[in-house]
Structure 1
Amino acid sequence: MADQTENRPVDAPTFALTAVVLFVAISAATLALTGIGLVSALVAVGICRFFGRPHLAFALLAVAAALLAFSLSQTPYPSVWMIAFPAYWATLRHGTFPAVTALIWLDPTELPFDRLALIAVGMIAGGAFELVAHGRRNSRLTLLLRNGGTPPVRRAPIAYICAWLAQRMPASLRRNYTLIGSHLAIGFWLWFSDADANHHVGISGSTGKGKTVVVANFVEASIRRCQPSVFVDGKGDEEFAERVRKFAKGQGRPVYIFNTLNLQNSCAYNPLAYGDYTAKADRIMKLREWTEPHYESLAKAFLQTAFKVLEFENRPVDLVQLSDVLSVNALLRIVGRRGFSDPKRQALVREINEHAAAEKSAIDGLRADIRFLTNSSLGVLFDTERARREGRQVLNLADARREGAAVYFVLPPLMFQNAAKVIGQLVINDLKAVATSSRSIWKLFFDEFSVFSSANVLNLINMGRTFGVCGVLSTQSLADFDAGAPELGSAFGRQVRASINTFICFQTNDPDDADTLSRWAGTSSGIELTAQMQGDRFTGQASARATRQFRAHPDDLKALPKGRAYVFNKNNGTAALIAVRKGAI
């Protein structure tokens, strides 16, 4: 038994804690001599609590030790130690306590090095107290009493100040970064880089929790830096579109609002302005699902010939004009206006006539789809010639990208259920074509993703990154991703999530979504503590084992209040809980 006692290893934590307690006790006795030291200790504790960084006490201890060494080197025997006790006793004997005592308490001596010594001692005591308190808050006993739950977030005062400042500073204060919020606990600002945005962003959460607010920060930064951006709004928020318009105008930036709810204040849109005749034909073919490959091939060949004729004649084309020329006779009239002596015209006539048999079998349905839009109440939005006559803006996505313009599409599915989806597909197909025109940053925002999601969006996200496309997909539920391509089932949603490197998660009501997002964010190493209890007391027997813990537990995602979000960034492996910035839009 004696050998076992002698060979017992030193309990380092207990030894360190005892030394700290003794040091604090001695410091407290010293502080009884003067109020300067007490004030210094309170200031040290206040600094650590204000910044929410208990380990800041180590820096304060180092500074205090240096100050104390300096003061003692100047006055080896500070007079304050000899003055304070007699002064206190004299005030008590003469009945001048507490008035005179207060003066002595705050300024016991006029020697500056004595004050410096007392301030240093106070800082040491305050720093030591904060370290002991922090250790107690995170002790094994505290973790056991918490029963493995997530500790409550303690917001430092600096966090409130940083959140207030974040709302009043530009979202684009740092070049190539967007300010989207501040860390909830300690207030550090969270700047999101364009490089991370180029790896795409997913925003998920229930309605009314702040998804549009965080998107507004991205839009604000893009407008301030004159970066081109396109916002495809699948819920039809006209009020937010108007806020974007006013902000862009206030910044002197070009802006286009395609508003299906307010035709008078909407620009016209030409989804066929960019690309050659093959690209344009492919764009229109994607508007519908083809069940017969034979008819799909016939329609594709006819469309390509139609666009070839229009390009040969140098005729600008939009949807309204296209719907009028999708017939053999119409195309022959266009080619024959200048005669048929030109060999190229003769070749076009032969090509047109080859499609005569396919016109009724393959083109009628496609022509009906186009005329569904052009003959509807929304047809005026696609008539570019009429818009020019009336002096209204005409949107060409390729030109808008070169201008660094902000583009906003208002597509309300509640009012135009079928039209919103068709227009959404037109926009997606146009975005795909224009994406290859440049490699500069181009931010694309898709709100209520399920309204217009399809395999085309996935192609745009997967392949557009090389050409500067930064996709931001906003949805209430991860199930909305699957709704875009029902023929692919859940595989489509998994492919979309695999293309996204950053998720911004607001309150999630669906338990399955919470579990999926927690798994997607990953885990970190931790310690799991268990203890044996008898009644309401610990028996003293406990165990600990290394585990992997969620960076954000599913229950935490389900309990997030409004304006709070987790930001999971796969590029740098971080998971941050933030207070979302409310910007200028």
Structure 2
Amino acid sequence: LLGIEKGSGKPVIITDREVNQHELVVGTTGSGKTTTVANFAESATQRELACLAIDGKGDPDLAEKARILAEKHGRTYKQFSMHWPSCRYDPLAHGGITELKDKLLYLTEWSEPHYEALAGRYLQFVFRVFERAGICAIIATQSLSDIEAAAGKAVVNQIIDNCNVFTIHRQNSPESAEILAGIIGTREGVEVTRQVQSVAGIVLETGLGSVRQVREYVVHPDEVKNLKTGEAIVVRKLTGEVLRVKVRKC
């Protein structure tokens, strides 16, 4: 249960089958993104499913929320961190010589487009493995531009292509809001114009005008920019549904 649909009050449930085809959650700081992710984590812990959360920013609030959820449902919780209390993990404890070499090699940042393209292909392979193994991948970020800055445009495109559910919280950047509105899609619309003229300072219609078909956003970028905390646009690509949702607090 993600939340309730605004207007109808109907519960919005994201199924395991949908999440198995992967989900992207985007939202600026304070928009409710962490609460959305926590709902999926709670669902997993309630049903005794394994849940692995990887936070590149090392947000202590997210780690604490995960710990509380695990304790609430009697699940084992382990945390690996470079900055906070942590379990121990030696990434070089296992693997052959070639594998260990690769682990160290890929600690280095590469600026060549060739390696960016490789990363995109590897990511697509990972998504396919997850899907076939029944593993659900939920990617959460403040904006797509953050991923592009860190990993390149190819990786952003791979994520968009391989996710079938999008949960979109508020975006402050006009560019980010427009990109996400474009991902949601457009529909046929009608644009009506009317000709006017000023007579003695009074604006009057002349009776002339035009009507033409246009493509318009299903969700306008301004709506994305004006979402309140805890509100989200949920897009189901498989069914074509676009829902305005109030996310539940867990």
Is this a same-fold pair by TM over 0.5? yes
Which residue number corresponds to residue 165 of structure 2? 502
CA distance in 1, matches of 2:62, 2:108: 33
The number of residues matched between the two structures is 238
The 1:273–1:581 alpha-carbon spacing in structure 2 relative to 1, beyond 3 Å, is: farther
CA distance in 2, matches of 1:574, 1:202: 15
CA contact 2:27–2:143 (8 Å) conserved in 1 = yes
Partner of 2:80: helix, strand, or coil?
Answer: strand
Which residue number corresponds to residue 574 of structure 1? 241
The 1:508–1:239 alpha-carbon spacing in structure 2 relative to 1, beyond 3 Å, is: closer
The TM-score with structure 1 as length reference comes to 0.37
Moved over 6 A (4+): none
- Flag structure 1 segments of 5+ consecutive residues without an equivalent: 1-178, 292-452
The 1:457–1:279 alpha-carbon spacing in structure 2 relative to 1, beyond 3 Å, is: farther
CA distance in 2, matches of 1:531, 1:290: 57
| TM superposition shift of 1:247 | 2.2
Partner of 2:139: helix, strand, or coil?
Answer: strand
The TM-score with structure 2 as length reference comes to 0.82
| TM superposition shift of 1:523 | 1.4
Which residue number corresponds to residue 481 of structure 1? 147
Which residue number corresponds to residue 113 of structure 2? none
Which of 29, 35, 38 is the aligned partner of 1:213? 35
Give 1:561's aligned amino acid: K
Work out the percentage of aligned pairs sharing the same amino acid.
33
CA distance in 1, matches of 2:162, 2:169: 20
CA contact 2:38–2:65 (8 Å) conserved in 1 = no
Map 1:414-425 to 2 at 5 A.
none
- Flag structure 2 segments of 5+ consecutive residues without an equivalent: 111-118
Which residue number corresponds to residue 467 of structure 1? 133
CA distance in 1, matches of 2:102, 2:14: 33
- Structure with the higher fraction of residues in strand conformation: 2
Which of 186, 194, 207 is the aligned partner of 1:523? 186
Map 1:348-363 to 2 at 5 A.
none
The 1:575–1:217 alpha-carbon spacing in structure 2 relative to 1, beyond 3 Å, is: same
CA distance in 2, matches of 1:240, 1:254: 16
Which residue number corresponds to residue 250 of structure 1? 72
| TM superposition shift of 1:229 | 1.1
2:224 equivalent to 1:224? no
Which residue number corresponds to residue 235 of structure 1? 57
Which residue number corresponds to residue 305 of structure 1? none
CA contact 1:505–1:567 (8 Å) conserved in 2 = yes
| TM superposition shift of 1:290 | 9.2
Which of 84, 87, 93 is the aligned partner of 1:267? 87
The 1:261–1:490 alpha-carbon spacing in structure 2 relative to 1, beyond 3 Å, is: closer
CA contact 2:170–2:228 (8 Å) conserved in 1 = yes
2:214 equivalent to 1:551? no
Map 1:91-490 to 2 at 5 A.
179-263=1-85, 266-271=86-91, 277=96, 280-281=99-100, 284-289=103-108, 457-485=123-151, 489-490=152-153
| TM superposition shift of 1:258 | 1.8
CA distance in 1, matches of 2:100, 2:5: 49
The 1:187–1:519 alpha-carbon spacing in structure 2 relative to 1, beyond 3 Å, is: same
The 1:484–1:541 alpha-carbon spacing in structure 2 relative to 1, beyond 3 Å, is: same
CA distance in 1, matches of 2:24, 2:17: 15
- Structure with the higher fraction of residues in helix conformation: 1
Greater relative contact order (CA < 8 Å, ≥ 6 in sequence): 2
CA distance in 2, matches of 1:481, 1:545: 38
Partner of 1:229: helix, strand, or coil?
Answer: coil
The 1:572–1:248 alpha-carbon spacing in structure 2 relative to 1, beyond 3 Å, is: same
The 1:244–1:527 alpha-carbon spacing in structure 2 relative to 1, beyond 3 Å, is: same
CA distance in 2, matches of 1:282, 1:498: 31
CA distance in 2, matches of 1:525, 1:454: 33
Bigger Rg over Cα:
1
The 1:552–1:254 alpha-carbon spacing in structure 2 relative to 1, beyond 3 Å, is: same
Say what the alpha-carbon RMSD is for the aligned residues.
Answer: 2.8
